[in-house]
């Protein structure tokens, strides 16, 4: 007989004489002649109730089943007289696949997020983290669906790279350990990074995406990205997933239109396709979340310049920890104030001073600002960072000189401005920050299966 997943069973419209389910026991309670189990198989948030009675040949074993034990049940799917569940299974036969010992850490009680982080290998078995990681899976696929519908091509940008896209020097170095060589010579050869060349883990796939946008038109990359910033914040991890669309013949306004359409599409998708899992977060994690979601899909996003933003912050009368003055790199407290308190919705900031932005951003006519854009959202701050790119070879070369970037190392990048250069734009959206936004989860460690932060590399 074929096994059926619980998600499918719960959606059934008729009773069934014979079903086969496999899963893990969440709880068990006994009456005189029955044992009632809540069974979960990870396919959905809900459990199905399984009822075993004394007629089972291994009933004596069944009543010893502990939380976390795995079983295989053959039985009948019947309408449940109980409240809150449509179906239950009356077991005709039950195999105990494995019995969890009493020290299984996920006994039925509330566990703190801090505690669950210490058992990242087990936490997806809880309701909250099961829901989180089903949503994460669905949203990753929704990104591909969005871009497929729009006719974008999916680019696999390299993870190992010689360049530093953001120029912030926050890269992890890749080393060819060559353990056999170390054993014979007794020392590591520092010149032997990537077969003799310096190499890093990518901080952004953008430069590769630009090359492909100038070839295939509209592309996106979506993959793991690495930052060696040693910052212990609730919004940074050393390894995260970034979505990076890059569009030829697209200016800054087109870039913002695209970002807004993307966030609206993904949020709506989550509300429709992850309704049950998302309800756990709207009910138990963040009471204001439903309102945030509704603003995200229904309201037009605000668009202002960096200078206007600084003005608003200065006039707000609010005392920020990090003092506001023109030219500063806005901190998350400033970003949150703008999106959460002042506008109460997502806000795009453009025209940042060129002094705080990377080399590839298009210089504006004032020669002071660049065609940068960040999208700031309530509760998070920056979720998207992007720009129109500098397509003019001479301006780009001047800027690189100003910033002491070696033109030789970027010869291939400059080629794209030499041969058929066109205006183009793109951005990066932090996938984890998006998940925080739609679930109301406030610590980025809780939206990543196995978060990579200083001190967490065990799992």
Give the binding site for ligand 4AD (CB under 6 A): 165-166, 204, 206, 227, 229, 236-237, 240, 242, 244, 382-386, 426-430, 432-433
Q: Whose CA is closest to 67, among 86, 44, 83, 47?
A: 47
> Which listed option, ligand 4AD, Mg ion, none, makes contact with residue 166 (CB within 5 to 8 Å by class)?
ligand 4AD
Shortest Å distance, C-beta 255 to ligand 4AD = 9
Strand partners, 21: 73
> Which listed option, Mg ion, ligand 4AD, none, makes contact with residue 386 (CB within 5 to 8 Å by class)?
ligand 4AD
Residue number with CB closer to Mg ion (44 or 376): 376
Shortest Å distance, C-beta 168 to ligand 4AD = 8
Shortest Å distance, C-beta 258 to ligand 4AD = 12
> Which listed option, ligand 4AD, Mg ion, none, makes contact with residue 427 (CB within 5 to 8 Å by class)?
ligand 4AD
> Which listed option, ligand 4AD, Mg ion, none, makes contact with residue 391 (CB within 5 to 8 Å by class)?
none
Shortest Å distance, C-beta 287 to ligand 4AD = 25
Query: What is the enclosing helix (H) or strand (E) of 252?
Result: helix 252-273
Residue number with CB closer to ligand 4AD (28 or 227): 227
Residue number with CB closer to ligand 4AD (147 or 240): 240
Shortest Å distance, C-beta 194 to Mg ion = 27
How many angstroms separate the CA atoms of 421 and 165, rounded? Answer: 19
How many angstroms separate the CA atoms of 193 and 199, rounded? Answer: 6
Residue number with CB closer to ligand 4AD (134 or 389): 389
Residue number with CB closer to ligand 4AD (54 or 356): 356
Question: 3-state class of 309 per DSSP?
Answer: helix
Long-range contacts made by residues 224-230, C-beta under 8 angstroms, separation at least 24?
Answer: 224/159, 225/428, 226/171, 226/172, 226/201, 226/202, 227/170, 227/171, 227/203, 228/170, 228/171, 228/172, 229/168, 229/170, 230/454
Tokens (6 digits) for 438: 């739609």
Shortest Å distance, C-beta 456 to Mg ion = 23
Beta strands in 54-134 (DSSP E): 70-79, 87-98
Q: Whose CA is closest to 369, among 361, 378, 379, 381?
A: 361
| Lookup result for tokens 């060349």 | 197
How many angstroms separate the CA atoms of 33 and 35, rounded? Answer: 7
Decide if residue 426 touches Mg ion (CB under 5 A): no
- Print the binding letters for residues 159-188 with Mg ion: x by CB under 5 A, - otherwise: ------------------------------
CA torsion, points 302, 304, 306, 309, in degrees to nearest 10?
Answer: -70
- Print the binding letters for residues 374-393 with Mg ion: x by CB under 5 A, - otherwise: -----------x--------
Shortest Å distance, C-beta 446 to ligand 4AD = 13
Residue number with CB closer to ligand 4AD (165 or 250): 165
Query: What is the enclosing helix (H) or strand (E) of 296?
Result: helix 289-298
How many angstroms separate the CA atoms of 87 and 92, rounded? Answer: 16
Shortest Å distance, C-beta 179 to Mg ion = 38
Positions touching Mg ion (CB under 5 A) are 385
């Amino acid at each position: 007989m074929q096994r059926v997943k619980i998600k499918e069973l719960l959606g059934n419209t008729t009773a069934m004489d014979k079903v086969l389910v496999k899963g893990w026991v969440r709880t068990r309670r006994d009456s005189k002649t029955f044992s009632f189990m809540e069974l979960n198989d990870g396919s959905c948030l809900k459990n199905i109730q399984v009822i075993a009675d004394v007629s089972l040949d291994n009933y004596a074993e069944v009543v010893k089943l502990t939380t976390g034990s795995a079983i295989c049940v053959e039985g009948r799917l019947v309408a449940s007289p109980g409240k809150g569940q449509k179906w239950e299974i009356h077991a005709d036969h039950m195999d105990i696949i494995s019995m969890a010992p009493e020290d299984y850490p996920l006994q039925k009680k509330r566990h703190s997020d801090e505690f669950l982080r210490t058992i990242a290998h087990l936490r997806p078995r809880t309701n909250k983290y099961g829901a989180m990681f089903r949503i994460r899976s669905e949203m990753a696929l929704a990104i591909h669906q969005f871009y497929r519908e729009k006719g974008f091509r999916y680019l696999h940008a390299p993870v190992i790279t010689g360049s530093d896209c953001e120029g912030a020097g926050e890269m992890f170095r890749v080393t060819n350990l060559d353990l056999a060589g170390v054993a014979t010579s007794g020392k590591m050869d520092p010149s032997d990074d990537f077969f003799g060349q310096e190499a890093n883990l990518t901080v952004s796939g953008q430069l590769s995406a630009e090359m492909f946008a100038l070839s295939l038109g509209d592309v996106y990359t979506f993959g793991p990205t690495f930052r060696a910033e040693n910052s212990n914040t609730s919004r940074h991890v050393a390894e995260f997933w970034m979505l990076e669309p890059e569009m030829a013949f697209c200016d800054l306004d087109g870039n913002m239109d695209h970002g807004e359409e993307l966030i609206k599409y993904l949020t709506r998708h989550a509300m429709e396709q992850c309704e049950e899992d998302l309800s756990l977060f709207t009910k138990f994690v963040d009471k204001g979340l439903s309102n945030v979601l509704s603003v995200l899909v229904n309201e037009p996003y605000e668009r202002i310049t960096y200078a206007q933003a600084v003005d608003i912050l200065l006039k707000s009368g609010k005392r920020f920890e990090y003092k506001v003055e023109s030219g500063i790199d806005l901190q998350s407290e400033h970003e949150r104030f703008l999106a959460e308190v002042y506008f109460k919705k997502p806000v795009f900031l453009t025209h940042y001073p060129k002094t705080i932005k990377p080399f590839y951003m298009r210089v504006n006519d004032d020669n002071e600002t660049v065609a940068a854009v960040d999208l700031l959202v309530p509760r998070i701050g920056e979720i998207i960072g992007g720009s129109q790119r500098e397509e003019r070879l001479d301006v780009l070369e001047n800027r690189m000189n100003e910033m002491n970037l070696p033109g030789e190392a970027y010869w291939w990048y400059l080629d794209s401005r030499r041969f058929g250069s066109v205006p183009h734009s793109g951005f990066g959206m932090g996938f984890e920050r998006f998940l925080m936004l739609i679930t109301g989860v406030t610590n980025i460690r809780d939206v990543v299966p196995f978060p990579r932060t200083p001190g967490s590399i065990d799992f």
